[in-house]
């Protein structure tokens, strides 16, 4: 008890007096202005102004503290929900957030009285770290449930069955102009070397045969005759309108024929054949991904699946960047989740799905590990899925 009266009671008195003193007047210092000295009966603090003014300021300070505390408590009750675009499950625009996953989550959250705010992650692959360090309480973005992720976060019960699909550019596979442009892009070096070869041989034959019947003595016209002669000789067509007269010219003619037959034209024909085959080859199933360049979103399960079938993976920040690469023919295909690729096909008729569904997977709502919300959320999720509300949402977002 001695400790209480010596230390604790004075401390409590001071804390109490900070917000409201029990003042009494001690003396009048200025009779004309009626300035009075006051002193607190509890803590002994002196004051030279009207006590109501002092108490008023301190009450205002107390109100500010109470407001701050209640604001903090209210904010701590609001869940931070990390989201990333994943149409049609999560659709983010400037005005609102919507989609199948969003409406399902909101239905459940409202039923169990949760307050929440959405926050978009910079990239999908950062979602799991932000959940792990509890920056976010919940994560929504068509997230596939797997063992690796379960080690660092928790999941709700599965709410949607899905899988991966292959998206290709329909124009690329049916456009003859694409085949021509693809050949020119790939074979321009061979064509350039061919022109250089024709020019060199044209100069040599002109230097040897100039002034003769078949070749002009002037440089430009003579070299032009020589290039024409080299081309006809190399292809073994030999129109006969131009023929070398000197022994050196005849030796050069034989050399040109053998080089053309053995090296130049076989190389050009092979390049053209390969280019046409590549341009017209249509990916029809997951096995056709072998050796192909495919785009997908960073941090997703489609990376490992693509590599499993022998594809070279080009990782992008989001699905829009993947589609941009496909449209510019920088990749052969996109491998990603079926709902998002189906949504892309609906919006752009130059794109098409091929090969059907593979690598089946389940989606779940992500929670921080040992989240107290998960059990309550799971019970309401099961109730919602067994009711007509789930089917209503599914039909709205996935059925025509």
Encode pLDDT of 28-49 as tens digits: 444 444 455 555 655 566 655 4
Q: According to the model, what pLDDT value does residue 90 have?
A: 96
Cα(234)–Cα(58) distance, rounded to whole angstroms? 103
Q: According to the model, what pLDDT value does residue 30 have?
A: 46
| Domain membership flag for residue 1 | no
151 in the same domain as 245: no
Query: What are the tokens at 196?
Result: 């250089």
Q: According to the model, what pLDDT value does residue 116 have?
A: 95
The structure tokens 């030279």 sit at 48
Rounded to the nearest 10 degrees, what angle do helices 373-386 and 100-111 cross at?
A: 110
248 in the same domain as 217: yes
Which of 158, 123, 221, 99 lies closest to 366, judged by CA? 158
231 in the same domain as 293: yes
Cα(132)–Cα(370) distance, rounded to whole angstroms? 11
Query: What are the tokens at 113?
Result: 């009285």
Cα(297)–Cα(87) distance, rounded to whole angstroms? 13
CB contact at 8 A, 384 and 390:
yes
| Domain membership flag for residue 277 | yes
Rounded to the nearest 10 degrees, what angle do helices 265-280 and 176-209 cross at?
A: 170
Cα(229)–Cα(227) distance, rounded to whole angstroms? 5
Residue 86: give its domain's CATH number.
Answer: 3.40.190.10
Which of 61, 52, 105, 112 lies closest to 83, judged by CA? 105
301 in the same domain as 200: yes
| Domain membership flag for residue 224 | yes
Cα(339)–Cα(336) distance, rounded to whole angstroms? 9
326 in the same domain as 211: yes
Cα(314)–Cα(305) distance, rounded to whole angstroms? 13
Q: Please give the tally of structural domains in the chain.
A: 3
Per-residue pLDDT tens over the stretch 262-314: 777 777 777 667 666 655 556 889 998 998 999 999 999 999 999 999 999 99
100 in the same domain as 64: no
Report whether pLDDT(212) > 60: yes
| Domain membership flag for residue 243 | yes
Question: Which residues, in sequence order, are CB contacts of 352 under 8 Å at separation 6+?
Answer: 167, 168, 170, 345
Higher pLDDT, 2 or 385: 385
| Domain membership flag for residue 390 | yes
Q: According to the model, what pLDDT value does residue 71 have?
A: 43
pLDDT-based confidence at residue 251 (cuts at 50, 70, 90): confident
- What sections of 95-175 are H helices per DSSP? 100-111, 127-132, 147-150, 170-174
Per-residue pLDDT tens over the stretch 50-98: 444 555 555 555 454 544 444 444 445 799 999 999 999 999 987 789 9
| H or E element that contains 83 | strand 78-83
84 in the same domain as 55: no
48 in the same domain as 95: no
Report whether pLDDT(6) > 50: no
Domain hosting residue 325, numbered range: 163-360
242 in the same domain as 100: no
**Overall pTM > 0.75:** no
318 in the same domain as 182: yes
269 in the same domain as 351: yes
Q: According to the model, what pLDDT value does residue 99 have?
A: 95
Q: Is 107 exposed, middle or buried (0-12, 13-18, 19+ CB in 10 A)?
A: middle
Cα(259)–Cα(245) distance, rounded to whole angstroms? 21
| Domain membership flag for residue 320 | yes
Strands 115-120 and 78-83: parallel
Cα(137)–Cα(133) distance, rounded to whole angstroms? 10
Per-residue pLDDT tens over the stretch 180-191: 666 666 667 777
176 in the same domain as 117: no
End-to-end CA distance of the chain: 78
> How confident is the model over 353-380, as a mean pLDDT?
94
């Amino acid at each position: 008890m001695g400790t209480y009266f010596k230390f604790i009671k004075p401390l409590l008195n001071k804390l109490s007096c900070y917000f409201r003193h029990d003042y009494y007047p001690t003396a009048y210092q200025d009779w004309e202005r009626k300035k009075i000295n006051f002193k607190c009966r509890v803590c002994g603090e002196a004051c030279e102004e009207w006590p109501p003014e002092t108490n008023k300021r301190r009450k205002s300070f107390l109100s500010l503290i109470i407001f701050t505390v209640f604001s903090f408590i209210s904010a701590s009750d609001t869940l931070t929900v990390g989201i990333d675009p994943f149409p049609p499950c999560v659709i983010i625009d400037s005005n609102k957030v919507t989609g199948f996953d969003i409406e399902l989550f909101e239905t459940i959250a409202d039923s169990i009285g949760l307050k929440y705010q959405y926050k978009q992650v910079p990239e999908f692959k950062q979602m799991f770290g932000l959940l792990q360090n509890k920056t976010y309480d919940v994560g929504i973005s068509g997230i596939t449930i797997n063992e690796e992720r379960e080690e660092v976060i928790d999941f709700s019960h599965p709410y949607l069955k899905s899988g991966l699909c292959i998206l290709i550019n329909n124009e690329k596979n049916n456009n003859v102009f694409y085949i021509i442009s693809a050949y020119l892009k790939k074979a321009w070096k061979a064509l350039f070397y061919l022109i250089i070869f024709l020019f060199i041989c044209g100069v040599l034959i002109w230097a040897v045969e100039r002034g003769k019947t078949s070749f002009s003595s002037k440089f430009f016209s003579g070299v032009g005759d020589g290039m024409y002669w080299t081309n006809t000789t190399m292809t073994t067509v030999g129109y006969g309108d131009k023929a070398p007269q000197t022994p050196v010219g005849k030796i050069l003619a034989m050399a040109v024929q053998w080089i053309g037959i053995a090296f130049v034209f076989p190389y050009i024909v092979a390049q053209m054949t390969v280019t046409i085959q590549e341009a017209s080859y249509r990916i029809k199933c997951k096995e056709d991904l072998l050796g192909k360049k495919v785009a997908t979103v960073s941090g997703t399960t489609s990376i490992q699946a693509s590599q499993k079938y022998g594809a070279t993976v080009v990782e992008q920040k989001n699905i829009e960047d993947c589609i941009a690469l496909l449209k510019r023919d920088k990749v052969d295909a996109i491998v990603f989740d079926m709902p998002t690729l189906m949504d892309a096909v609906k919006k752009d008729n130059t794109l098409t799905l091929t090969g059907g569904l593979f690598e089946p997977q389940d989606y779940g709502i992500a929670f921080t590990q040992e989240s107290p919300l998960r059990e309550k959320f799971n019970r309401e999720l099961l109730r919602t899925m067994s009711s007509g509300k789930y089917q209503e949402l599914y039909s709205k977002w996935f059925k025509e």
